[in-house]
Amino acid sequence: MTTIAAPDFALSAREQELSAIISAYNEVTDKLKGSHERLTGEVVRLREQLEEKNRELARKERLAALGEMAAGVAHEIRNPLAGIQLFSSMLEQDLHEHPEMKKKASRISKGVRTLDGIVNDVLAFAAPGEFELEEISLAPIVDESIALVAPQRQANAAVIHVDMESCDVRLLANAVQLQRALLNLLFNALDAAGPDGEIWVDCILDSQAKLYLLRVADNGPGVPAELRQRIFHPFYTGKDSGTGLGLAIVHRIAECHGGTVRVADRPGGGAMLNLPLKPVSIAPVDKHSMESA
């Protein structure tokens, strides 16, 4: 029987060297391709970030110009308004024995107070964009703010759920401005929730951003996606009354605290506004989640 030798598939040294070169080339090519894809993604991200910053800068410049003009108008209005308020009050006293005429004078006084409130909102919006931050406790501010909105809450027969344990945190903030922002958020939530509505207030730690988020949510109709930026524009309002400055003031205060207020859908329906605030220190915390509400 004749034996047939198996073919010799052994690679020569030169072929092995060539194979190694090709493998190394393919490996380098794959790495370069991966690096190129990552760099492309990073360029896109940075471009989007730059565009966002440019939009924010343009917005701040527009708001600064608008605020300066509004402040000038408000100051011009405030002086004659004070005179009208004084004389209408005197007129009410003089008409004590004439109920019908006194009622008309009272309406004038009420209208003047409404205008004075609008002027105050304009001046608050036009206030300087910087103020001193100090170490404060959030819980007393939340507690006092809930008390201040009690008349409207009672008028609406609404319920406000407050997680005071989660609000027991120390922050770097301006107490007066922070309370103004929280009050505006609460009034906005009460308007959105309507009669028999529900409001939730709590504070959670965003460990990734190293910020606390003060959250005010409601079970109202929510905010359509196309309006989520417009609601923070000055003088924009979806209500029949009001100046449209409430959320614009909140946005301005948030920026002065180094953040930006955001609106999102609340799980279960309604809207949730998140106000980012800097903590005095970051410590592990166990916060109740609003999603379980």
Question: Do residues 261 and 189 touch, judged by C-beta distance below 8 A?
Answer: no
Q: How many Å apart are CA 267 and CA 222, to the nearest integer?
A: 11
Q: Which bin fits 106, alpha (ψ -120 to 50), beta or left (φ > 0)? A: alpha
Question: Do residues 121 and 249 touch, judged by C-beta distance below 8 A?
Answer: yes
- Class of domain 13-127 (CATH, top level): mainly alpha
C-alpha 125, offset from chain centre:
15
HSE at residue 287, side-chain half, CA atoms within 13 A, is: 24
Q: Of how many residues is the chain composed?
A: 293
Task: For strands 262-265 and 159-162, give the pairing.
Answer: unpaired
Q: How many Å apart are CA 98 and CA 120, to the nearest integer?
A: 33
Tokens of 145: 């703010």
* Start-end of CATH 3.30.565.10 domains in the chain: 134-292
Global pTM value = 0.59
Place of tokens 């003089």: 94
Q: How many Å apart are CA 68 and CA 125, to the nearest integer?
A: 10
122-to-52, 99, 237 alpha-carbon distances in Å: 27, 35, 14
The 10s digit of each residue's pLDDT in 169-226 is 998 888 888 888 898 889 888 988 889 999 999 998 888 878 888 989 888 877 777 7
Residue 288: predicted pLDDT: 44
Q: How many Å apart are CA 271 and CA 265, to the nearest integer?
A: 5
C-alpha 233, offset from chain centre:
12
Question: Do residues 277 and 257 touch, judged by C-beta distance below 8 A?
Answer: yes
Task: For strands 170-173 and 134-137, give the pairing.
Answer: antiparallel
Q: For the chain, what is the largest distance between any 2 Cα atoms, rounded to a whole number of angstroms?
A: 141
Place of tokens 């959670």: 204
* Start-end of CATH 1.10.287 domains in the chain: 13-127
User: Residue 263's closest CA among 288, 232, 235?
Assistant: 232
C-alpha 120, offset from chain centre:
21
Q: How many Å apart are CA 264 and CA 254, to the nearest integer?
A: 16
To the nearest 10°, report the CA torsion of 37, 38, 40, 44: 140
Q: How many Å apart are CA 184 and CA 198, to the nearest integer?
A: 16
Q: How many Å apart are CA 190 and CA 272, to the nearest integer?
A: 12
- Class of domain 134-292 (CATH, top level): alpha beta
Residue 291: predicted pLDDT: 42
Tokens of 280: 């005095």
pLDDT tens track of the chain, all 293 residues?
A: 555 554 555 567 777 777 788 888 888 888 888 888 888 888 888 888 788 777 767 766 666 666 666 666 776 777 787 888 888 888 888 887 888 888 888 888 888 877 777 777 666 666 655 677 889 899 999 999 999 999 889 999 999 999 999 999 998 888 888 888 898 889 888 988 889 999 999 998 888 878 888 989 888 877 777 776 776 666 666 665 566 677 777 888 887 777 777 877 777 767 777 888 888 765 544 444 444 44
